[in-house]
Amino acid sequence: MSETPRKKICFVMTAPSALRAFMADPIRRLARKYEVSVFCNFSADACENLFDATVTRVHIPFERKIRPWADLRCLFQLSSALRRGRFDSVHSIMPKTGLLAMAAGWLAGVPVRVHMFTGQVWVTRAGFWRMLLKSMDRLIAWFATDIYADSPSQRDFLVAEKVIRSGKVLGDGSVNGVDCDRFKPDPAARAAVRAQLGIPQDAVVFGFLGRLNTDKGIGDLVEAFASSSVAQSAHLLLVGPDEEGVEAMIRKKFPSMREKIYFAGSTDHPERYYPAFDVFCIPSYREGFGSSVIEAAACGVPALASRIYGLTDAVAEGVTGLMHAPHDVSEIRAGLETYAADSGMRQKISRAARQRVLDKFQTERLVEAMAHEYERLLAHG
């Protein structure tokens, strides 16, 4: 008696960095039961060591920015590949590739088309660009058969904005949770990073880790820090790719802070930097969930975060972190000063933050939730 052919799932991602950060664990788990392919722009990073031979990698030259003719070529290339592969499901999580993947899946007749929303670029835009980008999200929802969001508050926001009619959230939120064996309190890493940068071991360090750009509220954080009463004793460490010349702007605007504000650049090992922070700051104007918050929390680092959808799910206000209104420099400054003045409070929140991740956001829990969803989605046909 011949074996029943395994169902086929295609994951579509813009870049390998997003693939590594968000989908590697779920893909490896699903590959145990299904034939899994990953369509991604592998030109800079082939991800050869990310998966074993059970996962097929296909290069599609996606670009992050809108390029109408190049995007149209990718759409037809993707649609043709999906049709030839006779996939049972196509799955996307990024905005631009989400539109291309859902449209291509619809054109190719893929029966299950899954998209997970992880944040809306248009939230901080106005006028034509807001209308265009929001319309793209609506098209994603129209082409998809199944909609997910990586946080309950983001789902509710999308429903209120009439982008989607309904959607699901896996577990308590996030895309694939946190590996708590990788992200954990690490005194050795804390000491090493501080020694490398010349930061005193007993100093209070406020940190940010992520893309350095306007939407992350970095300017607000630096202004709050520079004008705070703790600027002379505390330190600010910014880790991540500088996408908009943020370092040059800050060095020019705050020359007196040169020995207090550190730029560590990009890293493939965030687990080394989180333990060096006493407080993780994320003053973003938009987030889907805020995975960096729970990664920091798993390392025992409390948060100071803006009170926006997504982050209100990642932070239990008053328990695992303090929150402030977005754009409010005075509230950010007050949060910095509150944390700096009370080491006992920091330690209490630190313990609560890690425990909440252990209870709600471990990778295994989110990966299994996705596996169960696919058992449901592919149960028929």
What pLDDT sits at residue 381?
Answer: 56
Residue 182 lies in a domain: no
Segment 51-102, tens digit of pLDDT: 998 999 999 999 888 889 999 999 999 999 999 999 999 999 988 999 999 9
What pLDDT sits at residue 65?
Answer: 85
Residue 2 lies in a domain: no
**Per-residue DSSP letters for 39-85?**
EE--SS---TTTS-TTEEEEE----SS--HHHHHHHHHHHHHHHHHH
Question: Is 220 in the same domain as 271?
Answer: yes
Segment 240-287, tens digit of pLDDT: 999 899 999 999 999 999 999 999 999 989 999 999 999 999 999 999
Question: Is 161 in the same domain as 240?
Answer: no
Residue 22 lies in a domain: yes
Question: Is 213 in the same domain as 322?
Answer: yes
What pLDDT sits at residue 17?
Answer: 86
Residue 3 has pLDDT above 90, yes or no: no
Query: Which residues have a Cβ under 8 Å from the Cβ of 328 and sit 6 or more positions away?
Result: 220
Question: Is 280 in the same domain as 354?
Answer: yes
* φ, ψ of residue 133 in degrees (nearest 5): -65, -35
- Which domain range does residue 324 map to? 187-360
Question: Is 354 in the same domain as 370?
Answer: no
Question: Is 112 in the same domain as 31?
Answer: yes
Q: Any idea what the CATH number is for the domain that residue 199 is in?
A: 3.40.50.2000
DSSP state of 242: B
Segment 314-344, tens digit of pLDDT: 999 999 999 999 999 999 999 999 999 999 9
Question: Is 17 in the same domain as 162?
Answer: yes
Segment 23-59, tens digit of pLDDT: 999 999 999 999 999 999 998 888 888 999 899 999 9
Question: Is 80 in the same domain as 221?
Answer: no
C-beta of residue 70 within 8 angstroms of C-beta of residue 98: no
Instruction: Provide the b/e sequence for 69-97 (b: ≥16 CB within 10 Å).
Output: eebeebbebbbebbeebebbbbbbbbbbb
Residue 132 lies in a domain: yes
* H-helix or E-strand spanning residue 189: helix 187-197
What pLDDT sits at residue 1?
Answer: 46
Residue 179 CA, distance from chain mean position: 14
